[in-house]
Amino acid sequence: MAETKQPESHSTRATSYDVARHAGVSQSAVSRCFKQGASVAIRTRERILASARELNYYPNAIAQGLITRRSNMVAIIISNLTNLYYPEVLAELTQRLSAQGIRVLLFSLAAESDVDEVLDQVWRYRVDGAIVAARLHPEQLAAFADRGVPLVLYNRIGEGIPVASVCCDSVSGEHALVDGLVASNHQNFGIISGPSDSYVGEERVEAARRRLQQLGRSCLIVRGNFDYASGDAALRELMRMTDQKMDAVICANDLMAIGVIDSARTNFGLAVPHDLSVVGFDGVGPATWLAYQVTTIRQPVRRMTEAAVAMLLERIERPELSAEQRLFPGELLPGSSARLG
């Protein structure tokens, strides 16, 4: 019966003052109770915690954020969550950050043009840092530096501006695929790129194209947009473009590779990999399904997300840290959608 007010008014949550009054101490004492390493007598702490429990008190993180200038929130900006690869990344990042006592403010972009609006909100919410898997203009990158918001790019790099980043090595990955295909004597290559605004898409295509050139193979390149349907569309286009028998298709991601495999079998009556070898990139779940078993490069998502989180936390503690760039090699998944040498 220590309550001085009406039974309970839901609209008003208990504050540290309420707890202080209830426990017969000052507000400072309550605050110290919830900060580890602070000086509070054991008996006092117990009494306060008991009161807190009784009043259902939870420290207001908003108020804490205001006074400490630390929101304990990190922004995650992802351009297309429908990509099949990103949900896994997002889940990993979220769980790792949670484990470190950090909350995730999620921003998902429908169109790349929405970035500026999103950044506006990022500034307003005073997040402690950001992990971005979306394309940022140089000015946008500069804005992070200007405002002192630590930033780690995921599968992107600064392109001119030094930014911390975590990437899967497209070059070595594509080389492994191309080398394998060439070793088993494929002759006519098709490459299906990602959408024009995709950094990894361009990088992978460029790596594959260069390697083919080095090895004296020519190739046709058509544009895809990373989704299933565009695999089929791109394959049709490739077939139309060449009069020779195309025997290998390199796709900028697994989803398109799957689209190509389905289309090759169903629409062109081709046996994969006997008539046509198809390779992808990412190592998403469906790539290993029995119907596909895509030959691909699996990104080490766990290690990459772990690194991204570690790098971000480091930079939150020590903003002066350099713009390190960590490159992780992918792992070749042999699969059975391609004949590799």
Partner DNA sequence: TCTTCCTTTGCATTCGAAGTCAATTCGAAT
Partner DNA sequence: ATTCGAATTGACTTCGAATGCAAAGGAAGA
**Residues of the shown chain interacting with a second copy in the complex, contacts defined by CB under 8 A:** 10-11, 13, 56, 58-63, 65-66, 71, 73, 76, 80-82, 84, 86-88, 90-91, 94-95, 98, 103-108, 110, 118, 120-121, 123-126, 146-148, 228, 258-259, 261-263, 265-266, 285-286, 289-292
Kindly report the backbone phi and psi dihedral angles of residue 137, in degrees, each rounded to the nearest multiple of 5, phi listed first: -70, 160
Please answer whether residues 200 and 156 qualify as being in contact, where contact means their C-beta atoms are separated by less than 8 angstroms.
yes
10 binds, among DNA, a second copy, none (CB under 5 to 8 A by kind): a second copy
When CB distances are held under 5 to 8 angstroms depending on the partner's kind, the choice from DNA, a second copy, none that residue 334 binds is none
SS (H, E, C) 259-274: HHHHHHHHHHCCCCCC
CB of residue 284 to a second copy, shortest distance in Å = 10
- Cβ–Cβ under 8 Å, residues 276 and 95: no
Count Cβ atoms below 10 Å from residue 195 Cβ, excluding itself.
Answer: 16
Q: Which is nearer to DNA, 51 or 337 (CB)?
A: 51
Measured from the CB of residue 124, what is the shortest distance to DNA in angstroms?
Answer: 8
Per partner kind, with CB cut-offs from 5 to 8 A, the member of a second copy, DNA, none near residue 120 is a second copy
Phi (first) and psi of residue 336, to 5 degrees: -150, 30
144 binds, options a second copy, DNA, none, Cβ within 5 to 8 A by partner type: none
| Cβ 76 vs Cβ 95: under 8 Å | no
Instruction: Assess 147 for contact with DNA (CB under 7 A).
Output: no
Beta bridge partners of 50: none
Q: Which stretch binds DNA (CB under 7 A): 34-42, 150-158, 179-187, 236-244?
A: 34-42
CA 134/CA 109 separation, integer angstroms: 8
Task: Find the binder of DNA among 10, 36, 69, 299 (CB under 7 A).
Answer: 69
Residue count of the chain = 341
- Which residues have C-beta within 8 Å of that of residue 112, sequence separation ≥ 6? 79, 134, 135, 197
Coil/strand/helix, residue 240: helix
Q: Are 124 and 278 in contact (CB under 8 A)?
A: no
179, 339 in Cβ contact below 8 A?
A: no
Nearer to DNA, 7 or 37 (CB): 37
- Residue with smaller CB distance to DNA, 47 or 210: 47
40 touches, from a second copy, DNA, none (C-beta below 5 to 8 Å by class): DNA
Question: Is residue 165 at the binding interface for DNA, with CB under 7 A as the rule?
Answer: no
Q: Measured on CA atoms in the order 130, 133, 134, 137, is the torsion positive or negative?
A: positive
Segment contacting DNA (CB under 7 A): 62-70, 74-82, 256-264, 267-275?
Answer: 62-70
Pairing verdict, β 325-328 and 164-168: parallel
User: Applying CB under 7 A, does 5 fall inside the site for DNA?
Assistant: no
Interaction partner, residue 105 (DNA, a second copy, none; CB < 5-8 Å by kind)? a second copy
> How far apart, in whole angstroms, are the C-alpha atoms of residue 309 and residue 166?
10
Of the pair 41, 271, the CB lying nearest DNA is at: 41
**Interface residues for DNA in 12-31 (CB under 7 A)?**
12-13, 15-17, 24-29, 31
**Structure tokens belonging to residue 341:** 């040498």
Q: Which two tokens stand for residue 141?
A: 């990158």
Binding site for DNA (CB under 7 A): 12-13, 15-17, 24-29, 31-32, 34-35, 39-45, 57, 59-60, 63-64, 66-69
